[in-house]
């Protein structure tokens, strides 16, 4: 019996057929009590492969964890509160997904959230560096175009940065593109396949309409309108919510889809391809959203840039300097954060009396 147990765990760790069956993963949701965090946790809870779903928030979330723990799915739900429990929350996690932070209000651009949300990225990346440097770390928190470079810089400063393991979740841009194009073509959106590249703010979101399957054919003006709708869809929700926040439910749908893809990659499924904002050498922007194949250690392969139409090439040329600037600002934020931390933390302990 003991021998069988040892043999089974060795097989689970080493060969993919066993890994496909294993319920052995820990996923941590940071910001689990918020507008995105709650539905996201609910959707992740439906994944049968999870051993532990750890919920973290700055506010009490014991009730939410207890609630989710009653769902008839395998695995347990744990809760962690406050900064002091962040490292414990992420410790041992295979995936950490971050939805914490402030949402946009009408009239705001995502970049304006950096002052409030940059520190979230810095703190989570610091906790991951100490407690779980091998995890796959995925951010929903805006502004993604700056938050991911900030987190990368913190991980670098701590000597644990692995570009394959850090993600900005841009799945909602793909979800929206599929829905809007599907509706325009009278097709089931689930059967629309489209790549969205660039970043996650305004004109940096570049849906590659020319790659759409089935083919989306329309006059240039109509295509421009479609691109604009996808780029401004987040603002459409912010305005419709009229001051009570931004997309939460569709974002949770997209976030859960991405987490599921990460877990399928970890489990050894083949051909798991998702669009994500990652450290990249595909263009001159150091961080860029494109299709990546996911595997056991995060990004397994960066897919080549598809053939772009003339219109798309022009849009790409315009968005790259914006992404470069956002990355610089994100990195600068991290450096300032680290410097301030250094100045406030005493370098040596006071001598014992
Ligand atoms: C979205 O795209 O809905 C999110 O990034 C939230 C926002 O501020 O638009």
Express each pLDDT in 234-267 by its tens digit: 999 999 999 999 999 999 999 999 999 999 999 9
Q: Check pocket membership of 261 for ligand 1, CB cut-off 6 A.
A: no
Distance 185 CA to ligand 1 centre (A): 25
| pLDDT (0 to 100) of residue 217 | 87
Query: Is any ligand 1 atom within 6 A of the Cβ of residue 209?
Result: no
Closest CA to ligand 1's atom 2:
234
- Is residue 1 included in any domain, yes or no? no
pTM here is 0.92
- Count of domains forming the chain: 2
Q: Is residue 339 part of a domain?
A: no
Ligand 1 centroid–CA 143 distance in Å is: 9
Kind of pairing between the strands at 272-279 and 166-169: antiparallel
Residue ID of nearest Cα to ligand 1 atom 3: 234
Question: For 3-59, what is each residue's pLDDT tens digit?
Answer: 443 344 344 444 445 555 556 999 999 999 999 999 999 999 999 999 999 999 999
Shared domain for 118 and 237, answered yes or no, is: no
| HSE-CB of 228 using CA atoms within 13 angstroms | 6
The confidence score (pLDDT) of residue 13 equals 43
- Which ligand 1 atom is at minimum distance from the Cα of 144? 5
The answer to whether residue 342 sits within a structural domain is no
As a whole number of angstroms, the distance between CA 152 and CA 165 comes to 10
> How confident is the model at residue 23, as a pLDDT?
64
Tell me the residue range of the domain where 90 lies.
24-169
Of 23, 97, 147, the C-alpha closest to 259 is: 97
Q: Which positions are annotated as active-site residues?
A: 200
DSSP-assigned states of every residue in 299-353: EEEEPPPPPPPHHHHHHHHHHHHHHHHHHHHHHHHHHHHHHHHHHHS-SSPPPP-
Ligand 1 centroid distance, CA of 149 (Å): 18
Short-list 313, 312, 315, 288, CA closest to 302: 288
Q: Are residues 157 and 179 in the same domain?
A: no
Quick check: CB of 104 below 6 Å from ligand 1? yes
170 lines ligand 1 (CB under 6 A): no
One domain for residues 318 and 175: yes
Same domain, 56 and 142: yes
Q: Flag residues of the chain having pLDDT under 50.
A: 1-16, 353
CA 43–ligand 1 middle distance (angstroms): 19
Q: What is the pLDDT, as a whole number, of residue 99?
A: 98
Among 141, 246, 248, the mutation site with the greatest number of ligand 1 atoms within 8 A of its Cβ is 246
Is 309 within a domain? yes
Residue-level pLDDT at 2: 38
Backbone angles phi, psi at 228, to 5 degrees: -60, -40
**Cβ(50) to ligand 1 under 6 A?**
no
Residue 175 lies in a domain: yes
Residue 60 sits in the same domain as residue 126: yes
Same-domain check for residues 200 and 104: no
Centroid of ligand 1 to alpha carbon of 247 (angstroms): 6
The pair of three-digit structure tokens given for residue 246, joined into one six-digit string: 């931004």
pLDDT at position 317 = 98
The distance in angstroms from the start CA to the end CA of the chain is 57
How far apart are the CA of 324 and the centre of ligand 1, in A? 20
pLDDT computed for residue 19 by the predictor: 52
**162 touches 153 (CB < 8 A):** no
Rg (CA), the chain: 21
**Paired tokens of 1:** 């019996």
Contact status, residue 316 vs residue 283, Cβ threshold 8 Å: yes
Rounded to 5 degrees, what are φ and ψ at 127?
A: -65, -40
350 in any annotated domain: no
Q: 11 in a domain, yes or no?
A: no
Q: Is the dihedral of CA 84, 89, 90, 96 positive or negative?
A: negative
Say if CB 238 and CB 104 are below 8 A apart.
yes
Please indicate, yes or no, if residue 144 is contained in any of the structural domains: yes
CA angle 272/168/334 to nearest 5° reads 145
What atom in ligand 1 is closest to the CA of residue 237? 3
Atom of ligand 1 nearest to the CA of 176: 2
């Amino acid at each position: 019996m003991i021998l069988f147990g040892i043999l089974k765990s060795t097989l689970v760790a080493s060969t993919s057929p066993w890994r496909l069956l294993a319920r052995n993963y820990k996923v941590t949701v940071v910001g689990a009590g918020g507008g995105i965090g709650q539905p996201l946790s609910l959707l992740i809870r439906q994944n049968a492969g999870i051993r532990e779903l750890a919920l973290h928030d700055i506010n009490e979330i014991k009730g939410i964890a207890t609630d989710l723990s009653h769902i008839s799915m395998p695995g347990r739900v744990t809760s962690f509160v406050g900064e002091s429990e962040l490292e414990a929350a992420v410790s041992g996690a295979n995936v950490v997904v971050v939805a914490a932070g402030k949402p946009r209000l009408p009239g705001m651009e995502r970049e304006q959230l950096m002052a409030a949300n940059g520190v979230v990225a810095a703190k989570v990346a610091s906790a991951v560096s100490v407690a779980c440097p091998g995890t796959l770390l995925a951010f929903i928190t805006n502004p993604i175009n700056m938050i991911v470079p900030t987190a990368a810089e913190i991980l670098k400063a701590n000597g644990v940065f692995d570009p394959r393991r850090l993600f900005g979740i841009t799945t909602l841009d793909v979800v929206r593109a599929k829905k809007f194009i599907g509706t325009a073509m009278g097709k089931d959106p689930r059967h629309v396949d489209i790549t969205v590249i660039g970043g996650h703010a305004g004109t940096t979101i570049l849906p590659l309409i020319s790659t759409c399957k089935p083919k989306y054919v329309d006059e240039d003006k109509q295509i421009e309108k479609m691109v604009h709708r996808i780029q401004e869809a987040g603002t459409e929700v912010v305005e419709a919510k009229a001051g009570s926040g931004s997309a939460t439910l569709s974002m949770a749908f997209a976030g859960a889809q991405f987490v599921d893809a990460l877990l399928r990659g970890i489990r050894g499924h083949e051909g798991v391809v998702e669009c994500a904002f990652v450290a990249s050498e595909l263009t001159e922007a150091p961080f860029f959203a494109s299709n990546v194949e996911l595997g056991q250690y995060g990004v397994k392969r960066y897919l080549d840039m598809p053939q772009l139409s003339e219109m798309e090439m022009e849009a790409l040329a315009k968005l790259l300097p914006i992404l470069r600037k956002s990355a610089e600002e994100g990195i600068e934020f991290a450096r300032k954060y680290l410097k301030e931390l250094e100045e406030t933390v005493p370098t040596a302990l006071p001598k014992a009396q």
